[in-house]
Chain A
């Protein structure tokens, strides 16, 4: 094949990359549009605020919203401090020896394990062995395990991207290690850390396999950490899988999508405000 001239090559590259981007965004928008078009007609304040009735055939999805929020909040509240703490330790307190590499490698492997395996693990450990039963507690703990690797990885990257010179300056001005970490490193790394946590929230809201095994699928309004509950994504799965009500299933899916979009937009907004205020 004859080589293209540099000018033509440039043009081809630009057009090719443009097309790839267009297709990617197009597919994404198509999915969102498709689900919203089918889901939006079902949506109403009532759909959000009434409990499902008749296995979900009628009524709303209120108890599943509560269940989803409870599970995700519990998972993040557990996973974020452990994950960020581990990342700080790995990056700031070790020289990167064999132990560090083993921990990091382990975290990476953990990130690649299918969520249904986490579900099975959570079922064996929390539901049966520790006798928490199908409950918010079992589900939240399982989700926390699943989110840990992501939070560790993203936090580590964020911390590593803080210029080393900042640390030197901080130490040279008579800061302790802890002061350097909390006053210089973490504030600079915060946008990256928060982005990682937000991605994790999105993942935990959408997670189905791990929660169906550990939190169960009860439709009652949960009353304590030990109540079994059904998340929105499990609800969607059951409604669609068992053909209970496709309109209600799409309605649930639409709420899921809107919630995740909303969380992302809100985070970027808060982040921008934080960065403006801080620097």
Chain B
């Protein structure tokens, strides 16, 4: 983790129709850190991730205010190429969603849409290795990605975004449906990936943030309550509400 800020969020708000999901958010994200985001359901965690890669644009009635800058550039600026932006921020969703194609073609999907043709063996292998899935699937790359187990599917989704060579990895409760061993494997991958990527991990499991995050942010009702080094947030938070949430008094 370094101290240079790569994502700068300032006074950012997001609503869908009449429903306000994020209000006046200020947050800095640093290069090569794992930022854990915790908070109860409907606190705006996932909406925040989808604001970063502009998936919120696809929702009807989406409105926003404030700015988000990545490497100093406003991602909602007029001349932003959304497709290129999304390649820069790979996203893993809460439910693993392999596309109905082979393991190989799932991994190659993003690269193919970016214009690569033919065989992509090296890229597929490299991505699956980084995602920690290669050894388990190397003999059946051309079988359906949907036939894998849940934990394997989620690692396939991780490998799939790595093949697009993103700078950021956004994870939206990636282990919420997985067993402890699969969860552990994903967390191991994240620790390894940290040196090459900046990782934002939304999790409804506070212990997961404690295990893997360098810094942790606590979201509540669409706003940031506090953010700081994980050890500090978990032992001596500044805000009483953080303490209450971590002790399980609400959530």
8 Å CB contacts to A: which residues of B70-107? 83-84, 86-87, 90-91, 93, 95, 97, 99-101
- B15 on the interface (CB 8 Å rule)? no
How would residues 52 to 69 of chain B score, 1 for a CB under 8 Å from any chain A CB and 0 otherwise? 010100101000000000
Question: Are B95 and A165 in contact, with the CB atoms below 8 A?
Answer: yes
Q: Which of B109-117, B120-128, B195-203 contacts A (4 or more CB under 8 A)?
A: B109-117
Number of A-B residue pairs at CB separation under 8 A: 65
Number of interface residues of A (CB under 8 A): 21
CA distance A244 to B222 in the complex (A): 80
With an 8 A cutoff between CB atoms, is B31 at the interface? no
For window 157-191 of A, CB contacts with B under 8 Å fall at: 163, 165-176, 179, 183-184, 187-188
Is A173's CB under 8 angstroms from B55's CB? no
Is B113's CB under 8 angstroms from A172's CB?
no
For residue B61, which residue of chain A has the nearest CB? A95
Give complex CA distance A38, B58 in Å: 59
Kindly state whether residue A224 has any CB partner on chain B within 8 Å: no
For A115-150 the 0/1 string (1 means CB < 8 A from B) is 000000000000000000000000000000000000
Q: Counting CB contacts under 8 A, is A223 at the interface?
A: no
Q: Is the C-beta of B146 less than 8 angstroms from some C-beta in chain A? A: yes
- Assembly CA distance A119 to B15 (angstroms): 52
Secondary structure of the A contact surface, majority rule: helix
Determine whether the beta carbon of B100 is less than 8 Å from that of A174.
no
Determine how close the nearest CB of chain A comes to the CB of B62; give it in whole angstroms: 11
Nearest CB in chain B: distance from A149 CB, A: 26
Cross-chain contact B100 with A188 (CB below 8 angstroms): yes
B87 A174 Cβ-Cβ under 8 A: yes
Given contacts A165-B93, A179-B113, A279-B144, contact A172 B86 (CB under 8 A): yes
Whether the pair A166, B97 counts as a contact (CB closer than 8 A) is yes
Cα separation A258 to B97 with both chains bound (whole Å): 42
Chain A residues contacting B53 (CB-CB under 8 Å) are 172
For B83, the chain A residues whose CB sits under 8 A away are: 174-176
A173–B86 touching, CB < 8 Å:
yes
CA distance A179 to B100 in the complex (A): 15
| Nearest neighbor of B157 in chain A, beta-carbon distance | A169
Which B residues lie within 8 Å of A183 (CB)? 109, 112-113
Whether A278 sits at the interface, judged by CB under 8 Å, is yes
Assembly CA distance A202 to B86 (angstroms): 45
Inter-chain contact A184/B55, CB cutoff 8 Å: no
Q: Is the CB of A173 within 8 A of B100?
A: no
Which residues in B have their C-beta under 8 angstroms from that of A175? 83, 110, 113
Query: Besides the contacts A172-B161, A175-B110, what 19 more A-B pairs have beta carbons closer than 8 Å?
Result: A165-B97, A168-B58, A168-B93, A169-B93, A171-B58, A172-B55, A172-B90, A173-B90, A173-B113, A173-B160, A173-B164, A174-B84, A174-B110, A174-B113, A175-B83, A176-B83, A183-B109, A279-B100, A279-B101
7 residue pairs from A and B, CB less than 8 Å apart: A168-B55, A168-B58, A168-B93, A169-B99, A172-B53, A173-B161, A174-B87
